[in-house]
Chains A and B, each alone.
Chain A
């Protein structure tokens, strides 16, 4: 099993350009997540999808959109990139996300994005 895969690994954008980060998991997990990691800030949740067909905002959703394409795939789109979106982006998945339950999340290798 590959676990959680992300593409691309690296990307450089100019301000105003758009792009989509792709994520796929092969663990038959129901829930998927997008985080960003910045120095001194830790991991912060951008959006999550508790199950196929649902998406919800996390802590820092502004400037991003997501699509849960199917059970395996969850994409993150930057419509008009800004320098403040320079970061490392991680996708994660877990068995199930529901009130009263708690399951560990498994992370992908990350996408390093620079916006100039």
Chain B
């Protein structure tokens, strides 16, 4: 069964304290791995797509990387406005749906 697991469930950081969020997956024939940001009371906002092991994508303070078993979302020198829930999702070989993890809730305090 295809599965996506995110860790930790919650992460508290001080402003400027860099860290990483983990997304491990067991998906048959991974076609794509997606990262989303979700603010309270809003829909998920697309951040990155990664297609193959070794691929990296960057956006401002965020950098996503992909291996054959997991993906990391690195947050460099975070600011309070980076506080949100970050969701990871995978598309399998059938390509019929995204399989979502339960998310990591990040809180950054000043």
* Interface residues, chain A, with chain B CB atoms under 8 Å away: 4, 33, 40-45, 48, 50, 56, 58-59, 90, 92, 97-110
A contacts with B: majority SS = loop
Q: Is B100 an interface residue (CB 8 A)?
A: yes
Other-chain residue from B44, B51, B102 in contact with A90 (beta carbon distance below 8 A): B44
Contact A99 B45 (CB under 8 A): no
* B residues near A50, Cβ cutoff 8 Å: 96
Contact B31 A42 (CB under 8 A): no
Known contacts A99-B93, A101-B31; A45/B45 CB under 8 A: no
Chain B residue nearest to A98 (CB atoms) is B95
Other-chain residue from B31, B44, B87 in contact with A102 (beta carbon distance below 8 A): B31
Contact B95 A99 (CB under 8 A): yes
- Give complex CA distance A45, B92 in Å: 14
